[in-house]
Amino acid sequence: MKKRVMVIGLDCATPQLVFDRWLDDLPNIKRLVESGIWGKLRSSDPPITVPAWMSMMTSKNPGRLGFYGLRNRVDYSYEKMATANSTFVKEPTAWDILSRKGKKVILIGVPQTYPPKPVNGEMVTCFLTPSTEKQFTYPASLRDEVQRVTGGYILDAVGFRADEEEKDRVLKTIYEMTEKRFRLARHMVETRADWDFFMMVEMGPDRIHHMFWKYTDPEHPKYVPGNKYENSIHEYYKYVDARIGELLGAIDDQTSVLIVSDHGARGMIGGICFNEWLIREGYLVLKNRPDKPRAVEQCEVDWSRTRAWGSGGYYARLMLNVRGREPQGVIEPGEEYERTRAEVIEKLAALSDHKGEPMKTFAVRPEDVYSEVRGVPPDLFVYFGNLSWRSVGSIWPDAPETIYTFENDTGPDDANHDWHGIFIMRDAAGGDSLQAEGLNLKDVAPTVLSLLGVQVPSDMEGQVITRQSVSALSADSTGRG
């Protein structure tokens, strides 16, 4: 019988909910866990959708991919940024390799696949697609079928960072999006007889975490017991599990199934006004404060006296203003550059939270976490409170009294990403449940290739996950991660 691999991606599905809290309520996922290999999956640095899915499916670290987040500096000017879409991906993905080997692939919603590139098979692009008015399928002719089957495909829960009174609408959109995506997935699997590799990514878990986390997490500072949305995330996970069950009903038992996520989630306490902190510490100097809260790129910065500036996001990027590199650079490359980075790392590590407690903030140098550093990386990645706080990039008309904020400048959000996603694999042979330690998202692509009998390129960084490798890894899990 034909060997096939199905990968079901659940963006942001998080191990503490899937494995620790709710597994008994997720019968279809539980069945796979009980006969497969499962465990936490270490995300990329940073643990963000872009670059995480492409790091997973190329088995290359973000430094080698040359993009470090959704938005990246294009050059060393102060303001030029670009969104990393599929044209930024120069390394071959698992489906590129499979396509070349003549294997048939089906892709639905894998992040960073827009604009669509040719594959040996069919593709529906991802949440970064501007609208279904754009060409969002390969081949182009697939589009009409997608629209017909789904009654109007939903790429993403648009406007998901909504205010309180909009929550019902957002919830409804998330469900609708998920229902349509799984309906399309089932349709594709049932009507294409000859596929070898199927992969879909559902964005709903990420959207619902960011919008509803505070309602369901008793540890969250804004949690109110007995609130209307108390069970919203739990109910949604059960809904997704049922859709997975239907999809699994459409495949035979010779199909290996993987359920994976690109990163996890955790409660977010608040935000650190990163640029305001840099101003206080004397690294960033303004000519004038802005008329309203603005991004640093829109402020009148005195670059001749500025040594560093930062960006907002789930993690922060710190850029240094280096002589000969930035247009008005002031820091000498070499010794002064390294001294400045070391100084910032030390100051950030000493930062306390709003209650004066230690915060566990840390910053990393790109070259310390990547084997190669392509493109234009930030000079430091900063993780406030080890991702329990986010970075807020805005600069205010008046210097705020404190760098801690509990209102987000990009809309309501009460979850942050976390370092570990999930991995579940039930191969055709099945077996006993085997919990694995030390899995990395770069292991997914080589594992997929290996399951389909395709040789793993030697420059892939991950390992093939098998029952043997897992036993060996678990015995020596200290060396990875």
Binding residues for Zn ion, rule: CB under 5 A, are 11-12, 49, 206, 262
- CB of 422: closest distance to Zn ion in angstroms? 12
3-class SS letters over 303-317: HHHCCEEEECECCEE
Between 161 and 325, whose beta carbon lies closer to Zn ion? 161
CB 86 within 8 A of CB 123: no
Element (H, E) at 49: helix 49-58
**Please, what is the minimum distance in Å from the beta carbon of residue 442 to Zn ion?**
16
**Cβ nearer to Zn ion, comparing 49 with 416:** 49
What are the respective helix, strand and coil percentages of the chain, to the nearest 5? 35, 20, 45
Q: Tell me which H or E stretch contains 176.
A: helix 167-191
- 112 versus 361: smaller Cβ distance to Zn ion: 112
Residue nearest to Zn ion (CB): 49
* Segment (H or E) for 191: helix 167-191
**DSSP assignment string, 216-274:** H-TTSTT--TT-TTTTHHHHHHHHHHHHHHHHHTTS-TTEEEEEE-S-EEEE--EEEEH
The CB-of-419 to Zn ion minimum distance in angstroms stands at: 13
| N- to C-terminal Cα separation, the chain | 37
Least distance to Zn ion, CB of residue 11, Å = 4
- CB-nearer residue toward Zn ion: 43 or 132: 43
Tokens 């492409």 sit on residue: 54
Distances (CA, A) of 359 to 259, 351, 354: 33, 6, 9
| Min dist. Cβ of residue 453 to Zn ion (A) | 30
| Nearest residue (CB) to Zn ion, 303 versus 315 | 315
CB of residue 48 to Zn ion, shortest distance in Å: 7
Instruction: Between 19 and 127, name the residue whose CB sits nearer to Zn ion.
Output: 127
Helix axes 167-191 and 204-216, enclosed angle (nearest 10): 150
Smaller CB separation from Zn ion, 11 or 427: 11
* CB 438, min distance to Zn ion, A: 21
